[in-house]
Amino acid sequence: MKFTSTDVPGVIVIEPTVHRDERGFFVETYHAPRYAAGGVPAVFVQDNHSRSTRGTLRGLHGQHPRAQGKLVRAVRGAVWDVAVDVRRGSPAYGRFAAAELSEENFRQMYVPPGVIHGFCVLSDVAEIEYKCTDVYHPEDDFSVLWNDPDLAIPWPVRDPLLSEKDRNAPRLRDSQDKLVAYRDPGPP
């Protein structure tokens, strides 16, 4: 299992070991002690499953004050997964990390609390599953505009399918009251 830190503190790309043979494959998708040793010390309390069609973009989403950390993986198709550091005082504030997650590469991305998250679908259909470190509280949910020019995220889609909420989300600079303070995640 390989854990790769990104330029955003606490955001980690995980590449599990996949055992393949003529019957198919076996992969361990979560193992608390191994993940903690790799820099993901989270305790997960909720699992979610999302299905979307090609060109769908979901995000950028966060929660405040009860921020969720997320361990994201694609179980069908492929997505371009993005995590943006919006923690007040973070040395990486406004920077993003991105990775392609797919049913073929088995990659996962850990997005720590206080980092907002989004993804766009690269395949005809994609299903993602993600573990969360806190239960969802609708009153804590907020969004940041997916194509905020201050973030300059090079999304691999020009005219995405968006929810009304995501289409009308404010820019990051207009969302300062929703941001959590940065806490150094420490070494992986």
DSSP state of 96: E
The answer to whether 87 and 64 are in contact (CB under 8 A) is no
- Catalytic residue (choose from 64, 110, 117, 130): 130
Q: How many residues does the chain have?
A: 188
Measured in degrees and rounded to the nearest 5, phi and psi for residue 133 equal -85, -10
Active site residue 64: no
31 is catalytic: no
Alpha helices in 12-163 (DSSP H): 32-37
The identity of residue 131, as a single letter, is K
- Reading phi first (left if > 0) and then psi (alpha if -120 to 50, else beta), residue 94 is in left
CB atoms within 10 A of CB 26: 10
First to last CA, the chain: 14
Catalytic residue among 35, 61, 64, 182: 61
| Nearest Cα residue to 143 out of 160, 129, 162, 128 | 162
By annotation, the residues acting in catalysis are 61, 130
